Amino acid sequence: MAAKSNLSGSPDADLSSLSDRSLSSRASNRSLRVAEKERRKNDAEDPFVLALKYFSNVEAGTPVHGNDEVEKNLVLVERAAYSKGLSPEAISVMLEFAMSLRMGSGICPRVLKCLIPATVVPQEAVVRAVAWLGVANIPVNTQILFIKWLLTVFDLIDAKDQLRAIYGFIFNFTSEENLCPFICHLLYLLTRKESVRVFRVRKLLELQSKLGRQPFLLNLLSLYKVFCPELVTLSIPSQLKSVFRNHNLPWKSALTVVQRRNSPQVASSLNLFSTSKHKTTSRKRKHHHLGLAMLSSAVNKEPQTETSRQLVPLVQLHSVAQLLENMHRIELPAQMGSLLGSSLGLHYLDCVQDESALLRLNFWLGYTLQEELLFSSDEGSSQSSEESMQFLDKLLSTQHFLQEGFSSSEAFLYKFLSVWDGSVLRPQILGLLSNIPVVPSSQIGQLLFEPLMQLFFTSSLFFKCGLMESLNNMLLKWLTWHSVYALEDDLDISLNSHTSINMTLSGFKDSVMELVDFVGRLASVGLQLEGCHSLLLNFILDFYTTVCDMFLKYGLPLVVVPPPGVFYPALFATDPVSVDRLAFIMHRYKVNLTSAKSQEKLTKQAFRISRQTFKEFNNYAVFMVNCLWNAKLIQPGMSIQLGEELLLKSNVPEYWKSFDLIYHPAFMSYAVDFHQKCWPGRKDMDLDSIKHSKPWNWYLEYLFNQGYDGLKLFIQSNTSRQLTAGDGQGNSLSTE
Partner 1 sequence: MSLLKPFSKLPSLNTANILLVESEEQFQQSLADVLVEETAFTVNVRLAKSLPLPKENEESRPRIDLVVFIINLTSELSFQSAEASLKYLDPGYLLGKVCFMVTKARNTSVPTERLDAVRKLAAVLSCPLLFAEDQTPDGVTNARERLLSILKVSAGLVPMATALYLSNLTRCTVPPDIDQPSFD
Residues lying near partner 1 in the complex (CB under 8 A) are found at 213, 215, 218, 235, 237-242, 246, 248, 252, 374-377, 379-380, 382, 385, 411, 414-415, 418-424, 443, 446-447, 450, 453-454, 457-460, 525, 528-529, 531
Cβ-defined contacts of 460-467 (< 8 Å, 24+): 461/530, 461/533, 461/535, 461/536, 463/422, 463/423, 463/426, 464/522, 464/526, 464/530, 464/536, 464/539, 465/535, 465/536, 465/539, 466/426, 466/427, 466/430, 467/430, 467/522
Shortest Cβ distance from residue 216 to partner 1 (Å)?
Answer: 11
**Measured distance between the N- and C-terminal CA atoms of the chain, rounded to whole angstroms:** 72
- Minimum Å distance from CB 565 to partner 1? 11
Least Å distance, CB 4 to partner 1, is 12
Integer angstrom CA distances of residue 119 from 158, 283, 597: 9, 11, 68
CA distances from 626 to 27, 252, 378, 658, 721 (A): 77, 68, 61, 12, 14
- Give, as one character, the DSSP assignment of residue 493: E
Beta bridge partners of 86: 117
Nearer to partner 1, 427 or 555 (CB): 427
Closer to partner 1 at the Cβ: 269 or 376? 376
Comparing CB distances to partner 1, the nearer of 385 and 697 is 385
Residue closer to partner 1 by CB (options 248, 705) is: 248
Q: Are strands 312-313 and 330-331 parallel, antiparallel or unpaired?
A: parallel
The DSSP result for 688-731, as a single string, is GGGGSHHHHHHHHHHHHHTT-HHHHHHHHHHS-TTS-GGG----
- Shortest separation between residue 432's beta carbon and partner 1, angstroms: 16
Please report how close the Cβ of residue 668 comes to partner 1 at its closest, in angstroms: 24
Identity of the residue, 346 or 529, whose beta carbon is nearer to partner 1 in the bound complex: 529
Choice between 96 and 492, CB closer to partner 1: 492
Helices (H), 486-575: 505-529, 534-548, 550-554, 564-571
Distances in whole angstroms, Cα of residue 287 to Cα of each of 156, 255, 263, 385, 572: 10, 10, 6, 16, 58
Torsion over CA of 415, 420, 423 and 429, rounded to 10 degrees?
10
Nearer to partner 1, 243 or 344 (CB): 243
Give min distance, CB of 495 to partner 1, in A.
16
Q: Considering the complex, what minimum distance in angstroms separates the CB of residue 351 from partner 1?
A: 29
Residues of the chain by 3-state class (helix, strand, coil), percent to 5: 65, 0, 35
Beta carbon of residue 213, minimum distance to partner 1 (angstroms, whole number) = 7
Shortest distance in whole angstroms from residue 548 CB to partner 1: 26
Task: Please state, in angstroms and rounded to a whole number, the distance separating the CA atoms of residues 160 and 190.
Answer: 8
Nearer to partner 1, 528 or 641 (CB): 528
Minimum CB–partner distance for residue 150 and partner 1 (Å): 20
Helix/strand/coil for 504: strand
Instruction: CB nearer to partner 1: give 407 or 592.
Output: 407
Q: In the complex with partner 1, which residue's Cβ is closer, 351 or 374? A: 374
Which three-class secondary structure state does DSSP give residue 37?
A: helix
